[in-house]
Each structure stands twice: as structure tokens, then as C-alpha cells.
Chain A
């Protein structure tokens, strides 16, 4: 077998491409007819907004003018963004937020999946409990956590003061140094069940006979995990991490509701900053330029995601 990428098989009748490609399309015209409505819908709801956002990123939109009266400024929005201190601050926040949330959510989820993969009394109940953070509304969770963290009458502060550990409630979200880690904890709490479910599904595909054979060969628990289980989970791990990364890069609800990006921009990440620029400050052009940059980054992540999926399919086919 020669096909290893999972891509469509090239036309045999035309190695040079174009006429053969058209012929292949013609041969598959009925297939194309079936997917045409979906393609049209995608063009309307995805392609046009992308085009419009890119177009808008070259314009200035002062608060006194309607969007239709926008002023063409070329690349000015991009240069303004890249030369602004806020951009680098927000970008750093986004990297910390995305990396921290993704890595720890994955590790915690993986650990929980390994624990729940073993058979023990109450496993089903435990699994259901651990999924709760993922299924409850992010908005509700944000408000609850805001109350838990509250700098004056929060639950954590009350407990710590009550136990005599601190004299004043700790300041989690009104402090520029602690606000982002505090929000990342909330995000991890909400996301790790997703990683757990993905990894639990992956664990069920690890062949028992391989593990038993390794055991017979004298491998201890760690060696069985590292040499048998973990390699088998590499594909699902990659996909899980990429999905978490994309999701975290696009996060909005938790930081916006809990802090609005503050204090002093310390918890602004790209999405919240774009929202504030567009809807709070009506800088539609600048917000669009930010969005285009974000789009490029997410496209890169998407590329790796598709490649990872392709790799999975190849492995599934044993090629």
C-alpha cells in the first residue's frame, strides 16, 4: 500500500494536475452536489466574516462615525498593535493562560482518567462527580468562583481567617500578580474533566494482551505505563492538548465575568481585549486586526490538529 497520508487519491489519468482534477470533479459531480449546500452555508457564515474582518482591519473607526464611514489607514492598525505595550502584555497573558490551563488541565485529566480506569467501588459515582465542572455553565461557575475568591467576603478568605491562618482574606483577583494564576485555576477546574473523558476513551483502546504480555515479561507498573500505555495514547493526547489549547486561546467567559480583564489589564487575554476594543471602545478596525492575527495563530494550531488527526487515521489503518 502506498497511500499513507489519508488524503484523496490523486487522479490516475492526469499526473500533471489541472485537467485531471476537473475530470475527477466531474466524475464525482454527484458527490459534490451533495456537499454543495454545506459549502454555500460555510461560505456565508465563515468565509464572508473572515473576508470582512480582514478588510475591516485596514480601516479606522472613530467613535463619532458609523462603521460604513470608516477611514482607510492601510497597515496602521497592525503597526499600532505591534508597537503598543498593551499588546505585548496581553499576548504574554494569553500565552501564560493558554499554556498553564492546557498543561495542567491535561495532566490533571490524565491522572483522573488513570485513576478511574481501574475498577473500584463507586467508580461510576466518582466519574459523574468529576464531570460536573465541565457540564455546569461557565457563567455560573465564574460567578461562584468570584464569590469564592472575593477579596473581602470570599469563602477561601473566611476559612483562612476563621482558622487563624491569615489575619486578612488573601487578595486573589484584585491583585495584578495573582489574578491570572487565580483565573487559570478556575479554568483548569472547569476543563480537566474534558481531558479526563478523552483520555479515558483512549485508555480503553490499549490492548489488554499487550499489558499482560509486558507483565509476564517482568515489567513493573511504571514500565507498563511508560512503554505500553503512554505510547498508545500519544495520538489521543495530541488531539486533546490541541483541542484544549485552541479552546483556551479562545476563552472569554471566565476572565470577562470574573475580572473584565482587570485589574490594570492584568487578566486581559486576546479575546477579552478584542471584545473590549470592539464593543467597549468601538475600535472595530483595531479589533479586526487583532482578530486576523489571532486567526493566523489558530490556523497554525488547526494545521497541527489536522495533522495529528491524519496521523491517528494512518495508525488506525495500520499504515
Chain B
């Protein structure tokens, strides 16, 4: 199956998939794109159909000659990102300074795993920046604590319908909107066709279910002596929930009922039979079959990338950007290593993330949101609102919300799909259609202040307890469920 055939296949799958939680709200009155028609072909058909003038749009929010100062912390580019993303970030800041020459912008990029800790610490000392761009998991906590100013797309010249309904839920706490989505992402399933072929598997057919992932992983390991699936189970690393939660949801489990169309987050589901089945699948790969990297407990996705490029890993979950990361890494290789890396790149395939035993398919609806802090928590005690809104307007514009998500995810502003840059992006970024096809299967993390602890600590702990043999699978799941219950009740260690 060629790449285009893969695209066609996922198109068919997506056409029949119902867009549940992300699309089932009354907020879909008049979105700029028809979400009910969502498919790779539809995305291609609307790309390049509308022009936008970012500076003119933002001038309506904050005059271009406005004189002011804004401080920004953002979850930015890190070691696992491709160089093209670094370039796009650089261009954005240059563009902002050119558009608003009289606004002094002090920006600071912080990696995903460090941002929450640093931001929390700064807030305790009333030393936060005026604007912060946080991972989707983090915003609710700070909104609940009262650190954020109410901020909705209408405040910066857009409408709430311009953004994914699921993303808008993630910036809403207690009925009030506290931020604007910058980008939204869903990952895809990547495999090495050459490894599949040598292991006796169909090189163009990815595993359809998670049970098949376990089976394929074992077959690859037994036949070739390399790791089959790129399991990640490090604690305090965003990569872990992004890879385990799709598995958990596909088996019908969850932390709560977050995978349902109308989640209530009342009942803890981690100790359900379905959740345990998902955990058992990881256990089978790590302990029983030893078919995944041993280092999965201390490593993250950035460590899987070189393994994959070296032909030492058969399958993994990641962004379309991993293709560009592989290209970047390949450029740094020399001699036989470079040739080997090229072979891997030529054999990279992307597909839908596997489904569960009942055909349920899921992926984390991730991304980031941008927020304005209340003045009393900001370094210096003041927020320059016009300057902050000018920055947010530009970042979340159709143009820049797309460019800043170039190879990693999708624009938070749905108008980004209509731009000419989207057309360019589709033409130049392989496998993009696969991950946009996963959007309808996206499940947002629970919009709760406790979510960071659940996703970054409790869920990885559950995995580690099971995979190290510190507890049985059942005990690990029960222990994690108890921790979540205690946490939600305001107690526990």
C-alpha cells in the first residue's frame, strides 16, 4: 500500500466515524469548516480557499502603533521537535515585532515537562508572565485557582465557533472561558515497513487492534531481536499519557468516563476490567514478551526516535513531525549510518492508531492554549492587556496557528485549514492526512484541576508498578484507582 493508499484507507474509515465529543455541541452553529464532512479529502478540498490578513485582523483588536510591553512564557520547541518548527517559531516572533514595532515582547520558551513546575513556582511568588501558553492539560488547574483572566476568542477578534468545540471545553472552567486554543493535535501510528517485511508481517498493513500490536511486537522481537513497539512509561513526562491513554480508551477503560460523549468525571474507571485489560497488554509486551525497549520506564519518545531511525524499533505512536525529525537526524548521520537511516525513512508508514477489541479507536485530543494572567500574579503587578491581546490575536490567527503547528499538530483556529499555507503544508508534509484523520477520534484529557497529577504521576506510576513487578496488574490498577479517588476527595499521598 502506498502512502496515498494509506490516506485513502483512512479516509474511508474516517468517513464513517462519528465525531462525538469534539463535535457534538451547540457551539457548532457556524464553524468556518463543515466538521460533519471531516475527512482527508475534505481537508484538502478546503485548503487555500480563503485569504486572511493577519495584521489587519489584529489591528482591530490592538492598533498596530500601540506602545507597550508583554511578557510571555510558552511551551515551546524541545529536543524531539524538528528544525522546521524552530524556524517557524523564530519567524513568528520576528513577524510580531515587525507588526507591532512599539510593543516590547519578552518571550521565554520552556519545554513541556518543565513548564508546569516553573509556572507554578512563579505564581507562588507573584512572578508569572503576563501571557502563558500552556499544554491543554494545564489550563484548568490555573483557572480553578483563579490565576487566569477570563478570555474568550471574541475578545481577540474571533468567535468561539472558529475553534474545535473539544478544545473550547479544555479552556472552560465553571462556565467561564479562560483562554484560546493555539493548536490541537492527534497522533498517528508509525511503523517501519522493512522491519514488518523481515519479521514476516505484511509491510503495508499496520496492526488493526491493540491485541495485534502485542502480537506484532512479539513477532518482530522474536524474529529480528529488536524492539517491536515503542512503549513509553516514564513518570512526569507528557509522552506517557499521550501513548497509554489511547490504549486505555480503546479497550473501553478510562480514568473516569472522559471517553464518553458527555463526561461527568464522577466515577473512577481505572480499576475496571477494561482498564486492566489495557494495562495487561502493556505488561504482556514489557514483561512477558520483552518485546519493547527495556528503557521504557526511564525514557520518553525522544529516545524512541533514534531507536526507530536505527532500525531497532518497529512501531510507535507519534506526530507527523516525526518524519521531519527523522530527516533531521538522518542529516547528522554519516556513512553507513546515513544509508541505514535513509532506508528507515523510505520505509516509514503512518496509519490510524489501532482500535480496541470492540473496534473502539481513540487518541488524545492534545494541544495547547494561551492565557492572560491576572495582574496580581504577574511580575511587576501589571498586565498590558492591549499588548497581550495583540500577541494572542497573532498567535491564534489562521496564519500563525497553522504555521506554529506546521508538522506537529493542527491549527487551533479552524480557519487555518482554509489558508494557502495549509495547502502548502499538505503538499510538503507527508502523512499529515493520517493524523488529521485521527481528529474525530480525539478524546480530551479530563478538564479537572487534578488532571496533571493523574496523567503525569498516577497513570505512569500504575504502569511502572505493573511493569516492574512491584505489583500485579490488578493491584496496580486498583492502587491507581484508589489514588485518583483519594485525590478527588482532597486527600491521599
* A-to-B contact residues, CB < 8 Å: 60, 62-67, 80-81, 84, 86-87, 146, 150-153, 168-169, 171, 173-176, 258-266, 276-277, 279-283, 286
Question: Chain A: which residue is nearest B142 at the CB level?
Answer: A66
Cβ–Cβ contact B117 & A150, under 8 A: no
Smallest distance from the beta carbon of B375 to chain A beta carbons, Å? 15
Cβ–Cβ contact B145 & A264, under 8 A: no
Question: Chain A: which residue is nearest B465 at the CB level?
Answer: A264
Smallest distance from the beta carbon of B223 to chain A beta carbons, Å? 16
Cβ–Cβ contact B236 & A171, under 8 A: no
Chain A residues with CB under 8 Å of B493's CB are 80-81, 84, 86-87, 277, 283, 286
Chain B residues with CB under 8 Å of A286's CB are 493
Complex Cα spacing A86 to B234, Å: 18
Smallest distance from the beta carbon of A58 to chain B beta carbons, Å? 15
- B276-299 CB contact bits vs A (8 Å, 1 = yes)? 000000000000000001111110
Smallest distance from the beta carbon of B75 to chain A beta carbons, Å? 16
Q: From known contacts A152-B293, A176-B469, A282-B120, infer whether A258 and B450 are also in contact, taking CB-CB under 8 Å.
A: no
Cβ–Cβ contact A282 & B295, under 8 A: no
Cβ–Cβ contact A176 & B468, under 8 A: yes
For this complex, 28 residue pairs linking A to B, each with C-beta atoms less than 8 Å apart, are: A63-B141, A63-B453, A63-B487, A66-B145, A81-B493, A84-B493, A86-B493, A151-B294, A151-B298, A152-B312, A153-B312, A168-B294, A174-B294, A174-B295, A176-B470, A259-B298, A260-B234, A262-B235, A262-B297, A263-B233, A263-B464, A263-B470, A264-B461, A264-B465, A277-B493, A279-B120, A280-B456, A286-B493
Within 8 A of A (CB), among B232-266: 233-236
Smallest distance from the beta carbon of A164 to chain B beta carbons, Å? 15
Say whether B335 faces chain A, with CB atoms less than 8 Å apart. Answer: no
Smallest distance from the beta carbon of A93 to chain B beta carbons, Å? 13
Cβ–Cβ contact B120 & A152, under 8 A: no
Cβ–Cβ contact B121 & A153, under 8 A: no
Complex Cα spacing A63 to B452, Å: 9
Cβ–Cβ contact B450 & A64, under 8 A: yes
Within 8 A of A (CB), among B193-238: 227, 233-236
Cβ–Cβ contact B297 & A263, under 8 A: yes
Complex Cα spacing A176 to B465, Å: 10
Say whether B144 faces chain A, with CB atoms less than 8 Å apart. Answer: yes
Cβ–Cβ contact A280 & B117, under 8 A: yes
Say whether B449 faces chain A, with CB atoms less than 8 Å apart. Answer: yes
Complex Cα spacing A276 to B456, Å: 11
Chain B residues with CB under 8 Å of A151's CB are 293-295, 298
Chain B residues with CB under 8 Å of A153's CB are 307, 312
Question: Chain A: which residue is nearest B310 at the CB level?
Answer: A153
Smallest distance from the beta carbon of B116 to chain A beta carbons, Å? 8
The number of residue pairs between A and B whose CB atoms lie closer than 8 Å in the complex comes to: 99
- Of B144, B453, B490, which is within 8 A of A280 by CB? B453
Say whether B147 faces chain A, with CB atoms less than 8 Å apart. Answer: yes
Complex Cα spacing A175 to B144, Å: 38
Say whether B457 faces chain A, with CB atoms less than 8 Å apart. Answer: yes
Smallest distance from the beta carbon of A312 to chain B beta carbons, Å? 40
Complex Cα spacing A66 to B124, Å: 9
Cβ–Cβ contact B227 & A152, under 8 A: yes
Cβ–Cβ contact B117 & A67, under 8 A: no
Cβ–Cβ contact A63 & B294, under 8 A: no
Smallest distance from the beta carbon of B303 to chain A beta carbons, Å? 8
Complex Cα spacing A296 to B490, Å: 28
Cβ–Cβ contact B117 & A279, under 8 A: yes
- Of A84, A146, A260, A263, which is within 8 A of B468 by CB? A263
Complex Cα spacing A169 to B225, Å: 12
Cβ–Cβ contact A261 & B294, under 8 A: no
Question: Chain B: which residue is nearest A267 at the CB level?
Answer: B298
Cβ–Cβ contact B307 & A152, under 8 A: yes
- Of B124, B294, B491, which is within 8 A of A67 by CB? B124
Chain B residues with CB under 8 Å of A261's CB are 235
Say whether B467 faces chain A, with CB atoms less than 8 Å apart. Answer: yes
Cβ–Cβ contact A174 & B296, under 8 A: yes
- Of A66, A174, A283, which is within 8 A of B147 by CB? A66
Smallest distance from the beta carbon of A186 to chain B beta carbons, Å? 14
Chain B residues with CB under 8 Å of A282's CB are 120, 453
Cβ–Cβ contact A64 & B227, under 8 A: no
Cβ–Cβ contact A262 & B469, under 8 A: no
Question: Chain B: which residue is nearest A173 at the CB level?
Answer: B298
Cβ–Cβ contact B145 & A146, under 8 A: no
Cβ–Cβ contact B294 & A146, under 8 A: no
Say whether B381 faces chain A, with CB atoms less than 8 Å apart. Answer: no
Smallest distance from the beta carbon of A3 to chain B beta carbons, Å? 47
Chain A residues with CB under 8 Å of B236's CB are 260, 276, 280
Cβ–Cβ contact A281 & B453, under 8 A: yes
- B136-168 CB contact bits vs A (8 Å, 1 = yes)? 000001001111000000000000000000000
Question: Chain A: which residue is nearest B292 at the CB level?
Answer: A152
5 other A-B residue contacts (CB within 8 Å) besides A151-B294, A262-B235: A62-B490, A64-B450, A263-B470, A264-B468, A264-B470
Complex Cα spacing A227 to B147, Å: 67
- B459-493 CB contact bits vs A (8 Å, 1 = yes)? 01100110111100000000000000001001101
Chain A residues with CB under 8 Å of B453's CB are 63, 280-282
Q: From known contacts A176-B469, A260-B298, A264-B470, infer whether A64 and B461 are also in contact, taking CB-CB under 8 Å.
A: no
Cβ–Cβ contact A262 & B449, under 8 A: no
Chain A residues with CB under 8 Å of B145's CB are 64-66
Q: From known contacts A146-B298, A263-B464, A266-B468, infer whether A64 and B144 are also in contact, taking CB-CB under 8 Å.
A: yes
Complex Cα spacing A168 to B227, Å: 12
Within 8 A of A (CB), among B94-130: 117, 120-121, 124
Cβ–Cβ contact B490 & A60, under 8 A: yes
Chain A residues with CB under 8 Å of B312's CB are 152-153
Question: Chain B: which residue is nearest A174 at the CB level?
Answer: B297
Cβ–Cβ contact A262 & B464, under 8 A: yes
Question: Chain A: which residue is nearest B141 at the CB level?
Answer: A63
Cβ–Cβ contact B468 & A280, under 8 A: no
Complex Cα spacing A168 to B468, Å: 18
Complex Cα spacing A203 to B163, Å: 72
Task: Enumerate the 9 nearest inter-chain pairs by beta-carbon distance, A residue then B residue, closest first.
Answer: A151-B294, A263-B297, A64-B449, A264-B470, A151-B295, A264-B464, A279-B117, A174-B297, A264-B468
Smallest distance from the beta carbon of A275 to chain B beta carbons, Å? 9
Complex Cα spacing A96 to B460, Å: 25
Chain B residues with CB under 8 Å of A264's CB are 461, 464-465, 468, 470
- B307-331 CB contact bits vs A (8 Å, 1 = yes)? 1000010000000000000000000
Question: Chain A: which residue is nearest B492 at the CB level?
Answer: A80
Smallest distance from the beta carbon of A189 to chain B beta carbons, Å? 19
Chain B residues with CB under 8 Å of A87's CB are 493
Question: Chain B: which residue is nearest A71 at the CB level?
Answer: B490
Smallest distance from the beta carbon of A147 to chain B beta carbons, Å? 10
Complex Cα spacing A214 to B121, Å: 61
Complex Cα spacing A224 to B449, Å: 67
Smallest distance from the beta carbon of A45 to chain B beta carbons, Å? 14
Complex Cα spacing A67 to B124, Å: 7
Smallest distance from the beta carbon of A63 to chain B beta carbons, Å? 5
Complex Cα spacing A282 to B142, Å: 12
Complex Cα spacing A277 to B297, Å: 20
